[in-house]
Structure 1
Amino acid sequence: MGKDTGKIRFKVKLLRPAEPKGATWAFFVLPAAASAKLPTRSMVTVDGTLEGQAFQATLAPDGEGSHWLKVEKALREAAGAAVGDTVALEIAPVDVEPEPRVPPDIRKALAEHPAAKAQWASLTPVARRDWIHWITSGKKAETRVKRIATACDMLASGKRRACCFDRSGMYSKGNMGAPVAAE
């Protein structure tokens, strides 16, 4: 039996993150029943409405088997919603995942490694998004530099997936997860 990928409707409370202090964005964690209707436990792009205001966004895994979404101030205000409000959402997975934004340092490294760039071009948008997430999820600048070099080497050798990357966040809670809500 496959997952239902129709429209998913639910209500959820908008939360303010504890960090960074003074954040203007909000977030919410999908109820488990809503998340279970999505086709994957990993990142998934959805078309949706928040209090009737249309948006497209990529839900991130929360590391607990569900998903969460960062709600930028502009969307929250356009929807007439404030942090602490319970809001109505309707979401549905997109038919085709959009191309991810490639950070300039990764784009430059690929341009300098033709074999890696050729392999990159053959990947799906989801696979490219996974590579980008793996590269950018390191906490230190030197980790990112090392991962870019490693990624170019792995791609040039024909590798299609980032090594040891847990797309669900269930086994690597340090890399993925919803923010902690402010009190």
Structure 2
Amino acid sequence: MDKAPAGIRFKATLQRPAQPKGASWRFLVLPAAASARLPTRGMVTVDGTLEGQPFQATLEPDGKGSHWLKVEKKLREAAGVDAGDTVALEVAPVAREPEPKVPADLRRALSAHPAALATWKDITAVARRDWIHWITSGKKAETRARRIATACDKLASGMRRACCFDRSGMYSQGNMGAPEAAA
């Protein structure tokens, strides 16, 4: 990315997450007016600048109708900001969603199910991201394993989208949302 995208400009306060303790990353919640200008209440990848420093990231739903951004240490340090600072951002949705990183356990399961793998290869990057997010949003290892098996069965039968998955986090029972800020 060579230049700042024309897009949505706003300011937000950088916060330190309460968990995990000692995290090197920070986060911010987009103002409602900025979030409303995005094309979806679900995850959306953007090109942007934070205090003039370019980045690409996937904004996640905060479960309250807005989005939040994880700010990695490298970007934070390049911008010269930290928790408590009000930062200026400009973001614009990318023209084409990037391929999501497929977790190793899901990759192994798909490799063992040729019909599921065929559907996986035929769906969009956004659909693959939704399947991954649905699988990884389970809190317990048993839930994740069960969701991988279910995803493989559903993909093998031709289902292309993670059914009944609340992409916005607004109707979920607390498994999606912005991190809690440290005191």
Fold match by TM threshold 0.5: yes
- The answer to whether the 8 A contact 1:15-1:84 is kept is yes
Alignment map for 1:53-132 (pairs within 5 Å)? 53-132=53-132
Who is 2:50 aligned against? 50
Aligned Cα root-mean-square deviation (Å): 1.1
Who is 1:8 aligned against? 8
For each residue in 1:123-160, what CA deviation from the matched residue of structure 2 results, as whole angstroms up to 9, or x when unmatched? 00000000000111111111111111111000000111
Shift of 1:175: 1.6
- The answer to whether the 8 A contact 1:116-1:155 is kept is yes
- The answer to whether the 8 A contact 2:47-2:57 is kept is yes
Give 3-state SS (helix, strand or coil) of 1:91's partner.
strand
Q: TM-score, normalised by structure 1?
A: 0.95
Length, aligned pairs only? 179
Shift of 1:163: 2.2
Distance between the aligned counterparts of 2:77 and 2:178, measured in 1? 21
List 4+ stretches of structure 1 deviating above 2 A. none
Shift of 1:77: 0.2
Q: TM-score, normalised by structure 2?
A: 0.95
Distance between the aligned counterparts of 1:20 and 1:27, measured in 2? 13
What residue ranges of structure 1 are gaps of 5+ in the alignment?
none
- The answer to whether the 8 A contact 1:63-1:173 is kept is no
What residue ranges of structure 2 are gaps of 5+ in the alignment?
none
Shift of 1:6: 5.4
Shift of 1:22: 1.3
Distance between the aligned counterparts of 1:104 and 1:46, measured in 2? 25
- The answer to whether the 8 A contact 2:6-2:90 is kept is no
Who is 1:169 aligned against? 169
- The answer to whether the 8 A contact 1:8-1:90 is kept is yes
Letter in 2 for 1:172: S
Distance between the aligned counterparts of 2:166 and 2:40, measured in 1? 12
Identity of aligned residues (%): 77
Distance between the aligned counterparts of 2:48 and 2:174, measured in 1? 28
- The answer to whether the 8 A contact 2:51-2:79 is kept is yes
Give 3-state SS (helix, strand or coil) of 2:87's partner.
strand
- The answer to whether the 8 A contact 1:46-1:56 is kept is yes
Who is 2:156 aligned against? 156
